[in-house]
Amino acid sequence: MTTRLELESAIKQLPEAEVRDFAKWLQDYLDEKWDQQIEADLSAGKLDQLIAQAEADIANGNVRDLDEVLRNG
C-alpha cells in the first residue's frame, strides 16, 4: 500500500499538466463517492426527515426564491 507521503512525493515530481489532470481525476472521484453516499443515505431513509421538512416549508410558503437570496447576500 502506498502512503499519503509517498503519493505527495510522487505528485511533486510530475509536470504541472499531469498534476492538474490528476487533480481533476481526484475531484471527479470524490464527487462520485459523494454521490454514492447520498444515494445510500437516501435509500436507507436517512434523508426522509429533511425531505419532509423541506416539503412542509415549501407547502407553507416558508421559502424564498434563490435569486432573491443571492441578490441580498
Structural domain span for residue 68: 4-72
Cell of residue 1, nine digits: 500500500
pLDDT tens figures, 18-73: 999 999 999 999 999 999 999 999 999 999 999 999 999 999 999 999 999 899 86
- pTM above threshold 0.85: no
Between 2 and 73, whose confidence is greater?
2
Q: What's the domain count of the chain?
A: 1
The length of the chain, given as a count of residues: 73
Q: Is-contact 64 57, C-beta < 8 A? A: no
**What is d(CA 69, CA 73) in angstroms, rounded to the nearest whole number?**
6
